[in-house]
Copies of this chain bind each other. A is one copy, B any other.
């Protein structure tokens, strides 16, 4: 049996080189390969050009046991992935009757006539394993070279075909090559930067080979991916859990908002549902971003009845009862305004928790006292009140980033307040 020690993905298509589409297939397949415990060291993209495709594929085969090609299985003259791979493996092509029948049935069902060039898609290299395609025209396929210990898999490029073909047929096929099980858990961290997390966990991360601990940072958050391999899923889960307990016992522990928790909004909504509580937001600088993120979560209607954007001062006064004196004395961007907004919106919608944001999102509007990135987020619940002052970026972060991180802090503050 061929031993798959490493894989690489080679994506075929000039549209990728022109940046007309983003390569989501690679990310999707990579996640799945990682979960199968198959290492990847390289990926490549090449255009619809037979010489360059052949040279790229030769290179990939020289350094990896499994090469997964996406794209270039279409009906037109410049789709040549299958033909190139077959030539490289020394296979001739034959008409795969079953694929042809399926394609014809598919066209008939949609009331279309199959053109002659579609027939090209039903030709297969000798000895290929065919993955039938229920989501499009071109079947996927695998070719094994036992002697050289190499496998080439080819899948159609459109994600709505590539993804289900991979999950439904390629994954079971690949599992047949391994006797080990892999399992990952993700630790979600907010409020501590990546380099701080790393410096605390450095020895843990460098030392651990099973489970491995890999950090990655995104939009002001850090995730740790803990991956174990073993003989059974149960064994792997236990190994991951033990590792996560160790991480929780460090200083990082105070900043963990969940394990496989999804996002801050997922964690908050889950906790609100658990406690059967409702939340409402009064947003100034985030302008709806907090409510938008809460309502990203399916089922959020159980925890949010309404929410308000109080952009203008007169709206802050009229709807959420910020006092004219507060605005005069401290300004809209202040601790005082933030807390009055949170109190007011809790009242306005009769919610259990009120949260608020007010700040300078930029790029204009900053002053020496209140620079771009200065934001106050407030929370009020059950007699508990808190305001967090933020200074996001150095006045040079994008408006989007300032607003996103402000919203993240509001979500985090709310979750912490109700779990105190």
Contact = CB atoms under 8 A, between A and B. Distances in A.
B19 A30 contact: yes
A311 interface: yes
Contact of A31 (B19, B74, B295, B393): B19
A99 interface: no
Copies in the complex: 2
A291 B309 contact: yes
Nearest to A396: B134
Interface in A26-60: 26-34, 40-47, 49, 52, 56, 59
Interface string A296-324: 10111100111111111011000100000
B306 A307 contact: no
B42 A44 contact: yes
A363 interface: yes
Nearest to A282: B306
A300 B287 contact: yes
Interface in A106-134: 106, 109-111, 115, 117-118, 134
B19 A109 contact: no
Contacts of A33: 19
Contacts of A46: 41-43
Given A42-B46, A291-B288, A311 B315 contact: no
Interface in A190-220: 194-196, 198-199, 214, 216, 218
A273 interface: no
Contact of A306 (B42, B223, B300, B310): B310
A124 to B, nearest CB: 20
A35 B318 CA distance: 50
Interface in A124-171: 134-135, 160, 164
Contacts of A363: 298
A16 interface: yes
**Most chain-B CB neighbours within 10 Å: which of A46, A59, A118, A400?**
A46
Size category of the binding interface on chain A: 35 or more
A301 B110 CA distance: 37
A407 to B, nearest CB: 9
Given A288-B290, A295-B287, A30 B17 contact: yes
A105 B397 CA distance: 15
Contact of A47 (B41, B49, B164, B301): B41
A206 to B, nearest CB: 8
Given A41-B47, A287-B304, A295-B403, 5 more contacts: A21-B218, A74-B195, A115-B199, A135-B398, A306-B308
Interface of A: 14-24, 26-34, 40-47, 49, 52, 56, 59, 74-76, 105-106, 109-111, 115, 117-118, 134-135, 160, 164, 194-196, 198-199, 214, 216, 218, 223, 225, 283, 286-292, 294-296, 298-301, 304-312, 314-315, 319, 349, 361-364, 391, 393-401, 403
19 contacts: A17-B42, A19-B31, A20-B31, A26-B45, A41-B49, A42-B52, A76-B198, A110-B393, A118-B195, A135-B396, A286-B292, A286-B295, A288-B289, A288-B290, A295-B309, A298-B363, A298-B364, A306-B315, A308-B308
